[in-house]
Structure 1
Amino acid sequence: MFLGQRIDMKYEDSGVNIGKGKRAMEAISRHVKSTWTSDVLSDTGAFGGLYALGDRCQEPVLVSSMDGVGTKIIIARLAERYDTVGQDLVNHCVNDILVQGARPLFFLDYIASGALGTEVVASIVEGISVACKEHGCALIGGETAEMPDVYQGEDFDLAGCIVGVIEKEEIIDGSAITSGDRVIALPSNGCHTNGYSLVRKIVFGELGLGVNDFVDELGCTVADEFLKIHASYLDSFDVIRRGARIKGMAHITGGGIPDNLDRILPVSCDAEIKKGSWPVPKVFDFLQKKGGVSDTEMYHVFNMGLGMMLVVSQEDEQKILSNLAGKMAIHSVGEIVKGNRTVSLV
């Protein structure tokens, strides 16, 4: 030790508060445990989450996905509403594995910030827990990190990992799609979790609005519109699949309809989607007009009112539309034709 050298420096001097981290863990523990079933074999604080697969499937195939909610978290922070982005995160991930027919088993979250706020973390995890319980999905672990030199002040980031399961013979992968099939779609409730950098550029930058400002064209405040929770399609999927064979599904997220629907098409097929065959939420008209955004750009950034697209046979389309008329919002939006794996908006 050098003469006169201080010996009282602490981790907290660098901006990391271990005690606050422990308090955050204590605050979220009850939310986490509220999602557990008897399949969860570990406790909070374990190095790894243990989950018993049991006899759910004869040939189980695990399906995993990881995602975040993008810069929507900035609007959540400005509005000081944090539980909705937690639900966004789970619902987005549930939809991603649903595309292959999988049901969620368990979820893990990652929350990183410049200065860990116990109440903020608790609110985010409460939202995650609410959505997990809605889907029968256990929140079995995660990471909460305080990184003051990576994130500034109250800035934070949020990500999640989901694992689901499906019977091997029931996997939906698009391989059965053929010319003549039809494309049906389930509606979104707005921007979901994509395009928020452009949203903020238009709403805050071009229009100079605040999160609590009321927008006549939308009939609500900025926060109310742009913090709407990302829709989950698990329940709708269950209803549709009971009476039809789903050949392929696409979750419409970043990249919009063209860059998501093409991911499930066989190399010999194109999809032709008929614009105007579904109602486009007014938020997209608002963003396009106020931001001066072209049609092409809008359809490549936003979901434009369609959250999940499904490919079925022409016969099954008729059955689905007839059986679910008046019970579920669902639209016939296009068809599959011979081609080379492209999506056209006509």
Structure 2
Amino acid sequence: MDYREAGVDVEAGRAFVGQIRRLVENTYRPEVLGNLGGFSGCFRLPTGYQNPILVSGTDGVGTKLKIAHTVDRHDTVGIDLVAMCVNDVLTCGAEPLFFLDYLATGKLNPDQLAAVVAGIAQGCQTAGCALLGGETAEMPGFYQPGEYDLAGFCVGIVEESKMLNGTQVQIGDRIIGLASRGVHSNGFSLVRKIIENQGNNWQDCPEELGGQSLQDVLLTPTQIYVKPILEALRSGLPIHGLAHITGGGLPENLPRCLGSGQAVKVDHHQWSIPAIFQWLAQTGDVNLPEMFNTFNMGIGFAVIVSPEAEQQTLTHFENTQIPAYPIGEVIAGNGELIGSWN
């Protein structure tokens, strides 16, 4: 008996590394040292910092992967993986430097996993960070045939004096909401439950979605906000706080960037809730507060600025092709969110 008979094809693993080498190397920044294939990835700190702070984040894609497995479409979930990590690191005002992935499967399918890595590489290029390395684990008997799991790890950098930590936020500051591209990568356990309970298929095209199929809408990758936010910070816009709107929606995530003695007030009538959320709420008979406590509801990222910079900030993001809306303000309180949907 050998390792291949036990379910692990070492030669296929080596061939897979060769297959993705160009994808990985296309993401490299000047600070990357060495080549793909070593035991670790090496990265030189960028110059120009007086007191650099390294900021790290890790995340996965969650049960959105179940849809990718079911419909055999794997070209977008890698983008989701990168987005979930780099958007979190960004909330401190940090620039993502490098990214590593962990990909585990029961049996290595080179073409399937190459599509996943292509998405990861695309996400890294969009965020401006290097895909520094990763791990592909073949684990026979641990996953169902055709299934895999993903995890990602990101490191960014920010000047200590420019790091956003809640102390910059002031009562009266305005909240700018940046549009999401749909459901992103959170709330899919509820999404899947709604669709399965109602007997829908992923190929269905509800009239409310304008002819798009459920799988196309739901597999739309998470928006990466890195470059527009970094451009805003470097332009001198008085940004006081940033929040990535993920699991728990606006109520859980927006207050995380506040200082003590503060709360936020949000008016959801300031933006149009995307059709997919309206369809999910109606199809699953989910009330509005529960929808806002589960999904991003069309706002994927929030920017807190001083009142006098509100219009300038809106204009900046409109010029980057990301719709932006004045959705609320910072008020006195104890870390709560007061929403117009309650």
Shorter-chain TM-score range: over 0.9
Deviation at 1:324, TM superposition (A): 5.8
> Equivalences for 1:65-76 in 2 at 5 Å?
65-76=57-68
User: Would the alpha carbon gap of residues 198 and 243 (structure 1) be closer, same or farther in structure 2, given more than 3 Å must change?
Assistant: same
Residue 314 of structure 2: aligned partner: 321
**RMSD, aligned CA:** 1.6
Find the structure with the greater CA-based Rg. 1
Give % identity.
42
AA aligned opposite 1:80: D
Alignment deviations for residues 202-237 of structure 1 (CA, whole Å, 9 cap, x no partner): 12x123222222222112011110111111112321
User: Would the alpha carbon gap of residues 235 and 11 (structure 1) be closer, same or farther in structure 2, given more than 3 Å must change?
Assistant: same
Deviation at 1:67, TM superposition (A): 0.6
Query: Among 187, 190, 215, which residue is 2:182 paired with?
Result: 190
AA aligned opposite 1:310: V
Residue 118 of structure 1: aligned partner: 110
AA aligned opposite 1:158: L
Residue 343 of structure 1: aligned partner: 337
Normalized against structure 2, the TM-score is what?
0.94
AA aligned opposite 1:278: W
Normalized against structure 1, the TM-score is what?
0.93
Structure 2 gaps, min length 5: none
Residue 229 of structure 2: aligned partner: 237
Deviation at 1:138, TM superposition (A): 1.0
Residue 4 of structure 1: aligned partner: none
> Equivalences for 1:278-289 in 2 at 5 Å?
278-289=271-282
Structure 1 gaps, min length 5: 1-8
Query: Among 321, 333, 341, which residue is 2:327 paired with?
Result: 333
Q: Is the 8 A contact 1:174 1:249 kept in 2?
A: no
Residue 172 of structure 2: aligned partner: 180
Deviation at 1:69, TM superposition (A): 0.8
Query: Among 268, 284, 297, which residue is 2:290 paired with?
Result: 297
Alignment deviations for residues 20-77 of structure 1 (CA, whole Å, 9 cap, x no partner): 2222212111111111233211212101101111314222111110011111111112
Q: Does 279-288 or 45-54 show the bigger shift?
A: 45-54
User: Would the alpha carbon gap of residues 324 and 211 (structure 1) be closer, same or farther in structure 2, given more than 3 Å must change?
Assistant: closer
Residue 5 of structure 1: aligned partner: none
Q: Is the 8 A contact 1:271 1:343 kept in 2?
A: yes
Residue 127 of structure 2: aligned partner: 135
Q: What SS does the aligned partner of 1:86 have?
A: helix
Tell me how far apart the structure 2 counterparts of residues 323 and 156 of structure 1 sit (CA, whole Å).
39
Q: Is the 8 A contact 2:266 2:338 kept in 1?
A: yes
**1:216 maps onto 2:202 in alignment:** no
**1:159 maps onto 2:168 in alignment:** no
> How many residue pairs were aligned?
337
**1:171 maps onto 2:143 in alignment:** no
Deviation at 1:298, TM superposition (A): 0.5
Q: What SS does the aligned partner of 2:76 have?
A: helix
**1:78 maps onto 2:70 in alignment:** yes
Residue 194 of structure 2: aligned partner: 202
Tell me how far apart the structure 2 counterparts of residues 285 and 53 of structure 1 sit (CA, whole Å).
45
Q: Does 311-320 or 188-197 show the bigger shift?
A: 311-320
Tell me how far apart the structure 2 counterparts of residues 73 and 331 of structure 1 sit (CA, whole Å).
30
Tell me how far apart the structure 1 counterparts of residues 78 and 129 of structure 2 sit (CA, whole Å).
14
Query: Among 81, 85, 93, which residue is 1:89 paired with?
Result: 81
Alignment deviations for residues 306-339 of structure 1 (CA, whole Å, 9 cap, x no partner): 0001111111113323666676521111111111
